[in-house]
Structures are given as structure tokens and as C-alpha cells.
A and B are shown apart, each in its own frame.
Chain A
Amino acid sequence: MIVTEPAVFVLEDGHRYVGKAYGARGRTFGEAVFATGMTGYQETLTDPSYAGQIVMMTAPHIGNTGTNDEDLESAKIWVAGFVVRDPSRVVSNHRAIRSLDDDLVEGEVVGISGIDTRAVTRHIRSAGAMRAGIFSGADFALSPDAQLDLVRQGAEMTGLNLSSTVSTAVRYTVPAVGERIGSVAVLDLGVKKSTLNYLADRGFDVEVLPESSTTAEVLALEPSALFYSNGPGDPEASEGHVQVLQDVLRAGVPYFGICFGNQLLGRALGFGTYKLPFGHRGINQPVLDRTTGRVEITSQNHGFAVDAPREGVTESPAGFGRVEVSHVSLNDDVVEGIRCLDINAFSVQYHPEAAAGPHDSMYLFDRFREMVLTGRLDISTATLETESK
């Protein structure tokens, strides 16, 4: 039962960490990032935003509760590789139907265990996110130089557009639950199942569109609102999505965006985006809602951020009127949300749908619903009080 088959985790700066093979055997490449959530590995693995990334969990014990079908955030595991310290040998949960190890093997996800994940985390924290590779099975036997060369041949995250790899190929609809109040067009840049469910729960017919959809295709649906989802990649490489967003905003359609959708709103309004040194990936991230003074504990997963003035009201360089930064990270002051004052558009950098993560920010879906219903964005309409019901 004690696994002894070796594997190695290689970073592009030459650091090598020998561990044990986990999940599928073989080789894999991606951007090495760490995630600090202590629960929710299944949601994390199936979150399309992690496409192209080798995700390392800082929590040591992973896989204890196995996997089930309800907690999938999409149809498959998206991470490029998975790094853990102590994978579970058994599954213990009344909802579990499979083991994580089996899912990783079936999803052909190469992983590694037995790694001093804290040492690697501290290294990435100071050196920044970087390209990496995992080698097991026959690939473990490659020379260290050959392994390092392969890692360095991989693509850098900066400048990468990954939307097409994660988006739905065809349009589909998630019907409204309960009383229907309208429809929302969701541009699938890597959307999570929970997000769609929360939108449908708020009375929207949810029309999920492929990321390649044009302005005309969006407007043809005559949606009550437009929504841009989370997703992987560099927002700077997504000019097409920015163009569609600008067009739809000019057509007067209300907008709500999450994560990647926040970065694209920022760019549509004429602000820049930049890569964070090692990103925010965890479910304990404090965010200040500057309009209410309240603190939310949020789920985050982003390596890029919007570069907008933190203080006061700024004129949109792209001509959408006044804009303000509505939310900031209390850890490092990064922009976590923006709000337009002259058009009906807002977005947040974090994940109100959580999964995994705390439900403190669920009120944002209510705020979105109110905006669509009343035709104006009113920050007082829904507050934290409703969040956990």
C-alpha cells in the first residue's frame, strides 16, 4: 500500500523536487501555482480557470472525501498537473462515488505526491509563478537537463488565450428556476456550473454562448443582460471578447462579470491589466466592499488584475463615463471589483459563486438581478444579510 514509484516536479528556474507518482503517469507541463484552500479540491480541479496550470495544494491531505458528481464545476478536470503532499488512500464521505486518484487517472492528469509543498510555495511566493513540469513513469528516467529543456519549451501564461480550449462548442440554455424575469447571455470563457445555477436561481434563462460568439450573435438573443465568466489566460490576449463587450455595453445591455469577466470589463472601459507575481488562489481572501465598508471572505483564483486608480471616481478612458473601484483586497490592495456609475455594468475579480469557498458574496447575484429588474445599479438593494440563506 505504500507507494514508492518516483516522480519529479521541475520548475523552469531549475529547482527539482522528487516525490512519488500520483494520478496518471507520464509528463505534463503548465504554469506552477499554489492554491491555499483547505477544502474543495474537486471544485478546484474541475474549475476551467485552472486550464494550463499545474496546481499545488498547500493543504497536505487531499482526496479524503473522494469525488462525486454534484461537486463538479464542469465536465472534466482542467488542471495541467496536480501537486500534493499526502494523498488519501481511502475515500470517506457519504456522497463519494469515486476516489480522486481514479478520477486523475481517468482524466489523464499527471500528478505528484510527497512534495514539500510549503517549500515550493515559499519559493513561488518569492520567485513568482513560473513554468513547470511533472515527470513520472518512463519520463522520470529522462535526464534532469532533458526534463528542464522540456519545461522551458512550454508556453508562458502571459500572452496566452486559452478561452477556446475551455469554452463550450455549442450554445445551450439553463432554464430559469421559479419565476422567470428575463434572460442572461453568458459568454463561456470557462464558466463554472455553480455560476450558471445561481443565475438560473435568480429567475434568468441562462443562454450559454461559445467564446467565439460575435456582437451580432449576442444581440440577436435580445438578452436582458450580458455576463462574462471566469476563465484562464491573459486578458490582454482577449481583444475580441473586449470588442464584443464594448459593443454590447454601447447597446445599453446591463453587464456583470466575474474574475476574467472583471479583467475584460476593465479593459473594455480602457484600463490596463497586469500579471500578479504569484496570484491570489485561496478561499480565505479578505475583500473590502468600499461602498458598504463590509469585509467579505472570498474565494479567489486569479493571476492577473485590473490596473485602475484605487481612489475616487475615474472617467473611463474608453468613453463609458465614470467608473470607481468598488472592491479591494485587504491583503495587498489589488483591485477586486469595479463599478460603472453611468452605465449598468459591474464586475468582481473574486468568485461570489465560491465552490469552493465561503458564501459571503452571494449577494452580488441579487444585486445583479435588481440591476436588471430596475434598470439601475443600486448597491444598497442587497447586502450581506441575504448571503447565507
Chain B
Amino acid sequence: MPKREDIKSVLVIGSGPIVIGQACEFDYSGTQACRVLREEGVRVILVNSNPATIMTDPDFADATYIEPITWRVIESIIAKEKPDAILPTLGGQTALNAAIDLHKHGILEKYNVELIGANFEAINKGEDRQIFKELVLQCGADVARSHIAHTVEEAVGFAEDLGYPLVVRPSFTMGGLGSGFAYTEAELRRIVGDGLHQSPTTEVLLEESILGWKEYELELMRDTADNTVVVCSIENVDPVGVHTGDSITVAPALTLTDREYQNLRNIGIDIIRAVGVDTGGCNIQFAIDPSNGRVIVIEMNPRVSRSSALASKATGFPIAKIAAKLAIGYRLDEIPNDITKVTPASFEPTLDYVVVKVPRFAFEKFPAADATLTTTMKSVGEAMAIGRNYTTALQKALRSLEKRGSSFHWDGPASELSKDELLAVAAVPTDGRIVTVQQALRAGASIDEVFEATKIDPWFIDQIVLINEVADAVAASPLTDEDTLRLAKDHGFSDVQIAALRGTTENEIRAIRYGLGVRPVYKTVDTCAGEFPALTPYHYSSYDSETEVMPSERRKVVILGSGPNRIGQGVEFDYSCVHASFALSDAGYETIMINCNPETVSTDYDTSDRLYFEPLTLEDVLEVINAESQSGELVGVVVQLGGQTALGLAKGLKAAGVPILGTTPEAIDLAEERGLFAGILDAAGLLAPKNGVAHDYDSAVVVAEEIGYPVLVRPSYVLGGRGMEIVYDSPSLEDYFVRVAGQGIVGPTHPLLVDRFLDDAIEIDVDALYDGTELYIGGIMEHIEEAGIHSGDSSCTLPPVTLGQDVIARVKKATLGIAEGVGVRGLLNVQFAVGAGVLYVLEANPRASRTVPFVSKALGIPLAKAASRIMVGDSIAALKAEGMLPKLDGSIVPFDAPVSVKEAVLPFKRFRTKEGLVVDSVLGPEMRSTGEVMGIDRDFPRAFAKSQEAAYGGLPLSGAVFVSVSDRDKRAIVLPVLRLQQLGFEILATIGTAEVLNRNGIRTRIVRKYSEGVDLANDEPTIVDLINRNEVDIVINTPSGRSARADGYEIRAAAVAADKPLFTTIAQLGAAVASFDGMKDGFTVTSMQEYAWERAESLERAEELVRAGAGQ
């Protein structure tokens, strides 16, 4: 069937903020879908609360709603836009859940809108575990024995039948949230208790354990004519027990015979038919008992998933794009294969290379968290690598993680630990287990022993044995032996690894390699193993004989991406890289993207003229640049958009003679190097908080005592506030050094910056452009939390809502002074604090910041695009003249402009201590949020309310509020709490806070502190029990300096675990209280396009005013 003519407009539901288990892969899939639908002439309406996404750029839809993804908001959009259909399968579990809600509330029926991609019945069959299990059995396939429980007691009963250990999986949650293995009844009670809470249907599935089985995934697509293809098979190197998102995975599957593979394929096709995914993709997970081949179907997702993004990048088959076409009626054989152009999409890609994905974890951000990997996903990002063999792909992927110790190494003896100790460590899956396995093999463990400990397939273990053997050969051979170098390169060894093995430097190995002509070639990802010519330049390196890079005589710009997502460096940077690619392509340059993150839009082969899927290390980047320098003119490399990853390569690239575009590496140093930066501030007449530099504990104490406590300590050259803390005294400072020891973040070449900490200051974030003569403010953001909380974790508002024109004028002047002093060409981000009327400069970063997409969305200023043009020599004046930049910059916001609020989304719920408690959720100078949402409306309270709704599902309008604040906050809470009482909330407090409130005339119920324990005689519970019992609706708890942290911790942990709104700063509380009135009316929705029209009009009026003012 060709395209359906009855579908003229489609509402696409996005996936909301980046959270663990649902990251920017859905920006990639959603962006593809929006593009395809518009190409097909369909009017696209989009809802997504995440401003950091490409898909929410107004260019990608006809009507873009940056609004909370709730059924009520979507109903408002449906009522306004009247779409013919809703596409819910490309926005992850969030979109699917929203679709289910819309169905349940009768909205689809009311407005006569159809779900396309998957209908309600199909979603339900795939997601409801009991229905799915029966369906699998009907298909003749097998499932793990299981029971459904709705209460903890029921679960304990079923456990007698299934035996321990057993698996607990809550229904309808994403990323395996709330699931886990229970080895004992106590564990079962805890996991089931949590799981019942997480599940919107209050049910959990209990299953027999298949721990240690081999795990596989298939990505399938089906069209309206029932044509079904398997796009990709994926094998998990880590066996069952580790969430697939946390596993090292490989595509294609490497340890299956054809019979076994075809059996999985047959089961998969039967299931996609039985579930009834009519048009689009689905993902099915299998487990295979390695001893006898018994196959169990674990689960299926009737939608595009994280794995489908990986499969798309791994094969070159764009699943989301094809899924969108199928959804509007096309058949697979009617859609051409993008890469070959001559063959149809109704085929199964075949690979002549190996793809390895490795997860990126952030346990260093949550030191208290138990780092054991389970069926609950904990990784925050991933890196993918392509190699002609597994060893190469694995080693490339590991070095793509950019993390100390993530690559295989051969320093000194295998380890301090013995073989048996290493095997015992490897038996527990954790971040970095693969390196422990390598060390155990070095220490003499056999393949069988490692298999017994880890259940990793012996084939994968032998590949590490092979890598160790190659390392031995490298170590034993003369420095200039070409054969050994080639052998090492064919197994993915980096120059750094080879240098370490031969006791020399990376540069020397590189020089020897160049001398011998040992250089990589670049192969193409073509979906067909070379059977047909590929037209899409999607490349990866290999030390093979033939390169496939087509010469080009154009002017080229290389853009370095930001690598795997991590806390502090996420989708925001990819946004900037993609924008640079678009803008430079429009300006006539050939754009060349280098990145290793499979989740992103930047690694879509459609984004840039050429894509190199390579690690972002100096060696790998230099080789790509060498390959591209063989033809055309290399104008330069863009390093300031890819976060610290790209910026960190600037010096090395420049030293190798590669032109760096925009701000020079020397200027970047000026901003990072404390002494030099102080000089710039002096010259511009600007103040920084009193500060100093230290390299160890002793010097730090001297500096801190001179400045006076509290101090803010901050390692240089880090992103996301890594290692940043507020320290109140010398013993705490000593403790700090103990904790960061061995992390390599403070040392002789990486000094520690020590700043006077400004209490009660307002923090201001500025993003600006500078071309050498003119400064253009992108936006001035005011943080809602006071200084001391990382800007990434703080909510902020644009335009500022409490800053006067005087402060804004000073900020603007200061920004110009810094831009001139540093010598910025492109983007600059400056953080200021205003305390007691004094403007302090906290730090300046001559690069794209995390807030670039937010500013661009809020004010309609394409900062990253403009920055990339400035980097290739265009002036701000020219960009204004061509209309890329509005005439007035972001420091001038019209009086009636809407207010945008950015709110951070935090992952505390994912991380548990060894005792099973949620880790502490107090905000601090080290960033821990994974993503953000934006609320935009006509005033701050409404915008803030939307941001809360989008981030946390909104605030309750009635119920009980628990208040417990530190002494210094007691004055400030009286008014907001009074307002809460007037709104009808019941106020609970512990004794100290209750005293203050009661004396201020606020009736307060006193509850017991956690440390007091339950009063058994009077059956009086503690506050923690009340929260656990669901009797508290909002928790307000501010930590008090250094002491009494423990009591607060239990309260916050309980609040997070119970999913209750938690305010840890008074500023947040004030904003929330102000927003209640806005919420009562419900939300009105406005598209970004409507805002743009309004803004254009009011900017015109503002321009007239400015002109009139200038004329006077």
C-alpha cells in the first residue's frame, strides 16, 4: 500500500528529559521521524519538554510545543491543532505511556485521533507481562516460569514455588526501573515494595532466575502488508543479570549457529505478528541457556528503543526513519535503502565488521551508591565503535569512554591481587569488569575459570586472551618492527597502549608508525557487506589494505563531537555540534563529523556531509584529519562545541599543525589558568571571589585559611563540577583530598582552585558570542537556587526575574571585558554571582555551554549556528545582516516576552547504597543531573509550574507538607509556609522547625525525628515512616551546613524513593509556592512558532524604541 492520503497531520510525542534509561537516542529517532513526515508533506505537531533536543528546534515541526508530556497537556494540543493521527512509538516509554493515558481517558475517541505505529492493543500486549507471556507461549516459544504479584505478601508466597534467586520486574516502567534479583526474602520484600510503587499498575512479575544465560536482542520491522525483516542482532557480552543498557554489547551476534539464529528470527517474527505491531519497529530480548540451547523470550518493546538507535548506527539502516514511513502507510519494498539508493528497505542488513557498545557510568558522582550492575539500568551514556574485528571494536569502544582505567593495560605486575582474588572481583558485574577479566587472564586465569566466574561466553574471553598475546608480542619486539605494529593495530591497540608496552611515548610511536607508513584506511558502513556500491560516506577506520574515502575538492570543516553522554556533558553539546554542521553546510562548507556516541543526531549519517564513527582521542582524530587532508582544503577543526572532550584535544591538534577554528588553544588556557585569568579580570576592572591555587593538601590549607572558610574547591579542566565541593573547615579539606586521591583530578599539572564561597549570592549565567569586535549576548539567565549549587543542577529563568537593569548592564560590560581579554572567537559562557550588591566573576568558559540550546529555544537566537560561522571568519554584523541573528541581542528582552524556566532532572532514584537506601539527594557544586526540561509561559510562576510538571509530574494541590530546615533558613520559611497553609495544606514539622512556625502563627503538627525512632508506646511513627506510608505529599528539607546531615539524609532518601516533591533550597520553595495559583487554572499551550511570531513583532517594537532612544 502506498502512503495513506487520509493522514495530513501527525502529532509526534517526544521522550521528555534525558534520564537514565531514556536518553538522546529518542532525539535521534524523533528528529528522523519529524524530518521524514515533513518530507512526505505531512503537517507535524510535536510535543517534548526537553529544550536540549534537535527535534524541538522550530525547523523540525510545523508546530513545536515545549510543554510537559502529560495527557492533559496533550489533550489541549489536540484540541488546538486537531491532528489526524498520533505517533507514539518514537518517544520511548514516556510517549507510549502518554498514549496509554490518552486512550484510557477517552481523549483519542473524543477527538477521533488514531494511534499510528502501534495501537493501544499492541502496546498493551507488548507491555503487559501476563498477556505477553501467554502470547509467547501461543507462538510456540518458551518463557521463564513466573507469577504476577500485586502485594508483597503475595510475592513472598510465589517465591516458595520459584525458589531463590528470582527476578522482580515491575510492569510499565522504563530502563528496568525498580527491577532486580532477590536472593533472600528480605531482599524480595524490599525490591517488590519498590517495584509495586514504580509500576503505574501496581504489579510486579516474579520470574525464575536465568542468571548467567546468554542474552540476545533482535530489532525487527514490519509493514502493513506483513512483510517483516530483522534489521540487526545484538549479543550481550555480559550475560543475563546485567541490564542490556549496562552490558557491553556486540552486533552482529557472534556466538550463534545459523540454526539457533534462525530460530530466534522465527520466534521474533511470530511475536511481532501476534502483538500486532503493524507498522514500525520492535525490539525483542532472548536468553539462551549456554549448556543446552534452551531459548526464553525475556521481553519486547513495541516501539523504537535505545537498542534500535544502536542497531541503526551499527547497520546503517535508519529504523526510526523507516518506522515513520511505514506508519503513514508505505510498505518496506516501496522505500529505498538510503545508503545504496538502488535496493529497497525490505532486506536484512549484513555486516562485514563488528560493532561494540560499552556503557558509560557515573558512579563517581554518587560515592555512596552500590556499583553492582543489575537489571536496573544505571549507565548514563554509551560509546560505540566499529572495527573490522571484535578486538579492534572493543578496544576502540573502551578508549572512547575517555575514562581512566577503562582500556586494557599491562603496567607492572598483573595486579596487587592474585588470580583468585581477581576472579572473585570479576564475578560481580561492575563498571570496568572487562578490564578485571583482562587482568585475571594476565595473572594466569584460564578461559574456563573466567567463564565459571563471569559466565561470559568463552569466545569473548579468548578474544581478550588474544589481546594479551598481542600485547606480549608488542612488548617483546624491537621498537620499529612493522609486522608487530600492524598486528597490534589490527587488534585495536592505540599508540598510547603500544607506547606503554614499549616504554616510550605516544608521539614516538606515532612517528615510527608514520615512518613505516602504518596508517589506517577507512571503510564504509553500507548495509550490504560490499555487495552494492554505497553512496553514503559513513566511515570507520581499519588497518586493512583499501580505503574508501572519496576525494573531494571542497573546503572542509571537521567538527569534533562530545563523545559518550555523561553527567555534565550530554545532549546539549551534541545539539551545538549538529547546529554547527547545519550552519556550515548551508554556508557552503563540506562538514565532517567525528563522534563515537550512537545515541546522537550528530552520528546520523544524514547530519553531516561525512561521518567518521571514531573515538575522540588525539590519535584517532589526527588520522581522520590526515585522511581528509588528502584532497580539498581543510579549513580547520571546530573544538569549542563538543564539550571538554573536544576542547581537550585542541592543544594536541594544534601542536600537530592542525588549524583550530575560533578561540585559540592558548586563549582557552587563559580562561582555565587561574593566574592568567586574574590578570584579565584586573585589566577589565572585575572582581572574583578571593581565591588561590593549590596542588596538594598542605598548600590548600594555607590558601583556604588565608581566604577564610567556607571555600569552594574546584579542580581545573573538568566539566560538570567534577570534584567540586564547598568545604567548611580544614579537617573537611583533608577528607576531600583523601576522597579524590587516585582519581587524577588534582595534581602537579591539574591544580585545585580554591575560592571564597559566597553565601546567599544570586548566580547568573551568560552565553555570548564574540567575533573580535562585537559582543552579542545570547541570554542572561538567573539561577533560582543560590550560588553554590552547580549551574547544571540549578533551575534558572530567562529573562531574569529579579535582576534590575543596572545589574544586567554590569553583566554585559563584564562579559565584553572577559571576551576581549581572553580573545574569544565564537562562544563564551560566564558565570557571575551577585552578593551584597557586588558582581563577582565565578568562571568563564570559552566554549559552548550546556545552556546554549535552552537560550536558543527561549529567545530564538541560534547561538551554535552563529558561533560556527564566526569561527570560520564571519562577523556578527554580517550574521545580523543576513538575518541569522536578530538585530537586538539577548540582553534586551521585550517587556511582554514570555518567561522560560529550565529545571534539572536528577537520577537519585536509580542509585541505592549497599543497604538498599536511595543515595543522598542534596544539591551541591558537583553536577548530578542527567537532563533538563523547559517550561515556557507568560510569567514566571506559570513557567515554573510547567517546568515542575514536566520534570517531576507536578506538585500536589493539597495534602501534607513536611518542613525541616536548617537554622539559617528558619527566618525565610515563614512566609512560604504560611501561604501553603492558606492554600489548605497541613503542615508537619520536627520540633525545632515547629517551634518557629507556631510562634509565627502557623499551626503545625509535630512529628518525630528519624533519629528519635518510633514511639512504640503511643504508636507514633517518625517522619521517615510517614513518608514511606504515603502520608506526606511535599517535603521541604534544607541541609544544615556540616552537621545533622544524617537525619536529613534519611528524610530526603525516603522522599525520593516515594517520588514526592522535595525542596532542598528555600529559593526553590519560594518559586514553587508562587506557582500554585498558575497551576490551578491548568496550562495553556503555545507553540514555539507562535512565540517566534510574537517575539518578532515585539522585537520590532523594541527596535523602534531603541532607535527613538538613540535619536533623542
Contacts and interface: CB of A to CB of B under 8 A. Distances in A.
Interface in B517-536: 523, 528-533
Interface string A332-371: 1000000000000000000000111111000000000000
A212 interface: no
Nearest to B265: A358
Interface residues of A, number: 58
A14 to B, nearest CB: 15
B1000 interface: no
- Say what secondary structure dominates the interface of chain B: loop
A59 B389 contact: no
A122 B546 contact: yes
Contact of A58 (B225, B333, B529): B529
B390 A39 contact: no
Interface stretch (A172-180, A285-293, A311-319): A285-293
Contact of B269 (A282, A354, A388): A388
Interface residues of B, number: 64
A65 interface: yes
Contact of A65 (B257, B266, B388): B257
Contacts of B346: 286, 295, 297, 330
Given A118-B544, A293-B225, A358-B348, A58 B259 contact: no
Interface string B219-239: 000000111011000000000
Contact of A359 (B266, B390, B470, B545): B266
Contact of B352 (A117, A358, A384): A117
A136 interface: no
A121 B530 contact: yes
Given A39-B258, A58-B350, A388-B266, A85 B530 contact: no
Given A38-B350, A86-B389, A17 B459 contact: no
B290 interface: yes
Interface stretch (B248-256, B672-680, B828-836): B248-256
A168 to B, nearest CB: 24
A355 B528 CA distance: 20
Given A71-B259, A331-B343, A384-B226, A36 B529 contact: yes
Contacts of B227: 294-295
B263 to A, nearest CB: 9
A113 B111 CA distance: 63
A58 B982 CA distance: 73
B351 interface: yes
Q: B348, B457, B473 — which one has the most chain A CB atoms within 10 A of its CB? A: B348
B682 interface: no
Contacts of A297: 229-230, 346-348
Contacts of A37: 258, 350
A95 B352 contact: no
B255 A92 contact: yes
Nearest to B340: A331
Contacts of A330: 333, 343-344, 346-347
A238 interface: no
Contact of B257 (A40, A288, A294, A354): A40
Given A85-B388, A89-B462, A94-B293, A65 B544 contact: no
Contacts of B262: 39, 354, 356-359
Contacts of A117: 352
Given A85-B388, A118-B352, A122-B530, A93 B257 contact: yes
A389 B469 contact: no
Interface in B554-582: none
A122 B533 CA distance: 8
Given A286-B333, A295-B333, A330-B333, A118 B529 contact: yes
B354 A71 contact: no
A284 B344 CA distance: 12
A293 B402 CA distance: 50
A63 to B, nearest CB: 10
A71 B259 CA distance: 8
Contacts of B470: 2
A90 B459 contact: yes
Given A118-B523, A282-B531, A331 B257 contact: no
Interface string B541-558: 000111010000000000
A76 interface: no
Interface in B258-279: 258-259, 261-262, 265-266, 269-270
B353 A331 contact: no
Interface in A61-88: 61, 64-65, 68, 70-71, 85-86, 88
B354 A331 contact: no
A116 interface: yes
Contacts of B544: 116, 118-119
Contacts of A188: none
A182 interface: no
Interface string A248-269: 0000000000000000000000
Interface in B378-394: 388-390
A7 to B, nearest CB: 15
A223 interface: no
A119 B347 contact: no
Specify the main secondary structure of chain A where it touches its partner.
loop
Nearest to A126: B533
Contacts of B465: 1
Nearest to B250: A61
B262 to A, nearest CB: 6
B1043 interface: no
Contacts of A34: 529-531
Contacts of B106: none
B858 interface: no
Contacts of B907: none
Contacts of B230: 297, 358
Nearest to B462: A90
A112 B258 CA distance: 23
Contact of B332 (A40, A94, A122, A295): A295
Residue from A94, A118, A356 having most chain B Cβ neighbours under 10 A: A118
Nearest to A389: B140
A121 B292 contact: no
B254 A357 contact: no
B349 interface: yes
A240 B293 CA distance: 46
A195 to B, nearest CB: 15
Contacts of A40: 257-258
Given A34-B530, A357-B262, A95 B347 contact: no
A171 interface: no
Contacts of B140: 389
A90 B528 CA distance: 28
A42 interface: yes
A58 B348 CA distance: 15
Contacts of A61: 254, 354, 389-390
B441 to A, nearest CB: 13
A43 B260 CA distance: 13
A357 B258 contact: yes
Instruction: Tell me which of B259, B333, B344, B447 has the highest count of chain A C-beta atoms within 10 A of its own C-beta.
Output: B259
A358 B269 CA distance: 11
A284 B349 contact: yes
Contacts of A359: 262, 265-266
A124 to B, nearest CB: 9
B487 interface: yes
Interface of A: 1-2, 17, 34, 36-40, 42-43, 58-61, 64-65, 68, 70-71, 85-86, 88-90, 92-95, 116-119, 121-122, 125, 282-286, 288, 293-295, 297, 330-332, 354-359, 384, 388-389
18 contacts: A2-B466, A2-B469, A39-B261, A58-B531, A60-B389, A89-B462, A92-B462, A95-B257, A116-B544, A283-B350, A288-B333, A294-B226, A295-B227, A295-B346, A330-B346, A358-B262, A359-B266, A388-B265
By Cβ-Cβ distance, the 5 closest A-B pairs, closest first, are A40-B258, A119-B546, A388-B266, A356-B258, A58-B529
Given A95-B257, A388-B269, 5 more contacts: A17-B545, A37-B350, A40-B258, A92-B458, A94-B291
